[in-house]
Amino acid sequence: MTDYKEIVTGRIVTEGGRPVAGATVAVYDKDLIVDDHLGTTETGSDGRFRVDFRWSDFKRRGFENRPDIFLKVKTPSGKTTRTKVYEELTGVLSEDDSEELMDLGDVVVEV
């Protein structure tokens, strides 16, 4: 299989739907023994984030075909939220199959 680029996007928001700017978002692949850290970024003023990684970053051990994505989000106030696991998430492949976009939509955190 081609080592295509995976892209995880979303928007970090409060329970009231307000965007959370300046939050640290770490993306992981849930595994049985050790979770794979796939990348970290910070949200923009609109609460949006994007993390890019390669298919081979989670495929190293050969047990899975899709990443089981979860996030650890740390808000500027210091609160940390671990999201649910988005199991076997399938995204939208680019026209040439070189990358896949997985949009998590709005991710609600405590601030």
Which of 33-37, 60-64, 76-80, 84-88 ranks highest by mean pLDDT? Answer: 76-80
Query: DSSP class of residue 3?
Result: -
> How much of the chain, in percent, has pLDDT values that exceed 90?
55
Per-residue confidence at 90, pLDDT binned at 50, 70, 90? low
More confident residue, 99 or 85: 85
Place of tokens 């210091």: 78
Sketch out the chain's domains with CATH numbers. Answer: 5-108 (2.60.130.10)
Write out pLDDT tens, residues 26-36.
999 888 888 88
- Mean residue pLDDT across the chain: 86
**pTM, rounded to two decimals:** 0.87
Q: Which long-range contacts (CB under 8 A, 24 or more apart) does 25-29 make?
A: 25/49, 25/51, 25/71, 25/72, 25/73, 26/71, 26/72, 26/73, 27/51, 27/53, 27/69, 27/70, 27/71, 28/69, 28/70, 28/71, 28/72, 29/57, 29/58, 29/64, 29/67, 29/68, 29/69
